[in-house]
Every structure is written in C-alpha cells, then in structure tokens.
C-alpha cells in the first residue's frame, strides 16, 4: 500500500502515548508515525483514518474538534478482550480541491474494503459520506446505508454537494448501488415535508428521535442489514455544561454508544464513520467511547450459518389475511428474520436481501394480523 496523501499521527499525540499504561489502546494498536511509517496491514481487521475536510460544510465552525484530541481520548482507553488487530493509518488532509480529498477518501476506503478491513472514518463534514459510499462501486454488492442524523440531507436536487445535500447525489448519480437508506433519529422540524414525503416515496426507513429513544432496540435489525453506517454528531444532544453546544435535542451519550455498538455487532457493516465533530473535551471523550463501543461490537460479531442449515433456525409460519409470513429465529443468536419471497427471482445483487432482519415484536404483530411496516416497504419497493 502506497498512499502519499496519508499523513502520520502527530508527534504530540505519540508523545502523550508514552505516558499511558502499556495495556492502553494507544500502546496496543499499530500506528502510522513519522518515524516508523505506515503499519503492516497483515491480519488487520479495523483501520482508523482521520479526515480533515470541511470545505463543503453548510455551517463552518470556527473551532472544529481536532482529530488529534479524539485520538488522545481514544488511546487512553483500555481494550476489551479483543482478538482483532487495529491499525491507525493517520490523516487525510484537505487536498488542493475538495474533489482531490474525495478521491483520496474513496481510494483509501476501496482498498481497505477489498482487503476485508473495516475503515473507521473520524472527522470531516457529512458530505465525506459520498466518496466513502462510492468506494463500494468496485466491491460489487448493493449497499444499505444507515445514517444517524437529525436531518435526511437531501437538499435541493440541483444543489452542488454539501454536508446537507449529499444524499441526493448518492440517490441520483450512477452507478446506483444504493439498495436502501435508513435514517435513525430524524427530528421533524429540521426536515421539509417534501423530504419526509420523498423518504416514503422511495420506501426508505426513517425513525424519529422519540421513537428510537423510547426503545433503542428498534435500531438493531436496521443496523444488522447495513453495509455502511455514518453518524452526524449533530444528532447527539449537547451537554448542559458545554458552552459551545447548540443541539438542544438528540441522543444522549448512552444511547449513541448503544447505537454504535449495535453497528459494530452487525456482521454486514463494512464501513463506519463519525462526522461533524465539534465541541470541546467532552465531545472528544464521547466520540472516543463511541469508537470503542463500535470496536467492541466487531469483536462480538456472530457469523450466522445459511438459512437452510439443518437445525440452525426455527421457522414460524404466520397466516395474515390471505398469505403466509415466514419468520426465522436463529438458534445461535436468538435473532429474527422475515422472508421476502418475491425477491427470490430477482438479480443476483438482490438475492442476499431475501431475508429481512426483524424483531420478536414484529413476529408478535404478525400473530395479531399486523404486517411489519418494513416488510410492507420492502414489498412495495419490489413491485415499484
């Protein structure tokens, strides 16, 4: 691997590392330094990459949170009983143009995806999601994108890409590899009614902030089917003591860490990013813990066997009106799926979506003659 655009982790951060206990995360991962160069990726499962690109941000913050502060907070944490090798590849700084930075992000992510290494992108504005998504072009699969955000970020159809319009570009631009988009935590007053209607028209999933806070487990099946997860820190409520905070409503620290752990546990998630990083030391510490929980989740992933493996699943057939819904419960993990039979004969890119992750509550709803809403959306999408 030879990526000249990758800058090593700052010496000040490495000097801080020297003061940490040898069991801390900063002393147990491989780090790109000026002295040692890029780390060997042999056996690596997770790669941390800092992004310093904010020129397309709609709101230009005077003091964005430096990635170095997040690293300092992350490095001093202690790893769990983890078996995966973690590398820190340093930073992608602003290129001569924003497009140069996008090219670097896409190239970096594409390389890591092909090596079966999960990129964790830290920093930068939310529009960086676009080049990260484009990295899947060469992987060959359709993409399920999940965004933890108070906004849908559609913007105007004719608007140039920005931190609040990148989704329009993802939806419209070819090759169109987006199979599904899900938003977790949107707040109605931040989104035009036309955007809400568009989510419904495209059969995308959207969960209001209150709905997720009421039962955080509703995000698990959404994240279980995700290939890429992005978190906008604007979806996280500012603490009352943070003078620079301007987010009155959002997820609290426990809720956002639970969400990132669910993302890590999902064996399908191949790319994870945290963007719009602003605030002070509290924010850096929280982002570090979010990363920690994601890595913790990756280390506790359960590889499910094929659905036709004898004795691996319990099958439940539920008559609903004039049809039957087929549910499957894994004997290994206890997780649930619902079958989407009309997808079986579609092209190869969609075959893996034949089973839709669901919850036990969805099964109970079906027993009460109520079809799961996500099942309905998948059905409508298949015949649209």
Q: Find the helix or strand (DSSP H, E) in which 292 lies.
A: helix 281-299
pLDDT at 160: 59
Residue 207's pLDDT band, with cuts at 50, 70 and 90, is: very high
Q: pLDDT: is 273 or 63 the higher one?
A: 273
pLDDT at 273: 98
**pLDDT tens, 308-366?**
888 999 999 999 988 889 999 999 999 999 998 754 444 444 444 478 999 999 999 99
**pLDDT tens, 280-316?**
778 999 999 999 999 999 999 999 988 888 899 999 9
Which residues, listed in sequence order, are joined to residue 184 by a DSSP beta bridge? 148, 207
Distance, CA of 215 to CA of 335 (rounded, Å): 17
| Nearest by Cα to 181 from 150, 208, 220, 148 | 148
Measured CA to CA in angstroms, residue 292 lies from 76, 303, 340 at distances of 11, 21, 35
**CATH, domain range 6-299:** 3.40.800.10
Domain ranges of the chain: 6-299, 313-383
Q: Report whether 167 contacts 181 (CB < 8 A).
A: yes
Q: Find the helix or strand (DSSP H, E) in which 214 lies.
A: helix 209-214
DSSP reduced 3-state for 330? strand
| Nearest by Cα to 134 from 182, 96, 75, 178 | 178
Instruction: Reply yes or no on whether the pLDDT at 120 is more than 80.
Output: yes
pTM of the predicted structure, to 2 decimals? 0.92
Percentage of the residues of the chain whose pLDDT score is greater than 90: 66
């Amino acid at each position: 691997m030879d990526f000249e655009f990758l800058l090593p982790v700052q010496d000040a951060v490495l000097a801080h590392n020297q003061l940490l206990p040898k069991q801390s995360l900063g002393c147990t991962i491989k780090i790109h330094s000026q002295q040692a160069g890029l780390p060997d990726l042999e056996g690596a499962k997770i790669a941390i990459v800092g992004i310093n690109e904010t020129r397309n941000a709609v709101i230009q913050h005077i003091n964005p949170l430096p990635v170095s502060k997040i690293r300092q907070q992350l490095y001093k944490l202690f790893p769990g009983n983890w078996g995966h090798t973690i590398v820190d590849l340093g930073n992608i700084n602003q290129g001569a143009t924003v497009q140069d930075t996008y090219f670097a992000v896409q190239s970096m992510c594409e390389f890591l995806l092909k090596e079966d290494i999960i990129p964790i992108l830290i920093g930068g504005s939310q529009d960086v999601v676009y080049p990260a998504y484009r990295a899947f072009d060469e992987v060959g699969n359709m993409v399920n994108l999940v965004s933890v955000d108070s906004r849908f970020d559609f913007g105007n159809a004719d608007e140039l890409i920005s931190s609040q319009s990148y989704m329009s570009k993802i939806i419209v631009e070819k090759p169109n590899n987006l199979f599904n988009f899900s938003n977790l935590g949107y707040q109605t007053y931040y989104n035009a009614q036309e955007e809400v209607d568009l989510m419904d028209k495209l059969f995308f999933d959207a969960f209001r902030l209150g709905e997720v806070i009421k039962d955080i487990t509703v995000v698990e099946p959404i994240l279980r089917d995700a290939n890429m997860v992005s978190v906008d820190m604007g979806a996280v409520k500012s603490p009352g003591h943070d003078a620079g905070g301007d987010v009155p409503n959002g997820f609290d620290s426990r809720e956002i860490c639970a969400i990132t752990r669910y993302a890590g546990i999902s064996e399908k998630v191949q790319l994870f990013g945290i963007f719009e990083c602003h605030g002070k030391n509290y924010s850096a510490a929280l982002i570090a813990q979010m990363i920690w929980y994601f890595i913790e989740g990756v280390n506790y992933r359960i590889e499910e066997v094929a659905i036709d493996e004898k004795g691996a699943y319990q099958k439940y057939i539920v008559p609903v009106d004039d049809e039957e819904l087929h549910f499957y419960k894994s004997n290994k993990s206890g997780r649930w799926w619902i079958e989407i039979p009309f997808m079986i004969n579609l092209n190869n890119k969609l075959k893996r979506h034949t089973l839709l992750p669901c919850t036990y509550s969805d099964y109970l709803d079906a027993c009460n003659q109520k079809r799961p809403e996500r099942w309905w959306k998948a059905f409508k999408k298949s015949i649209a």
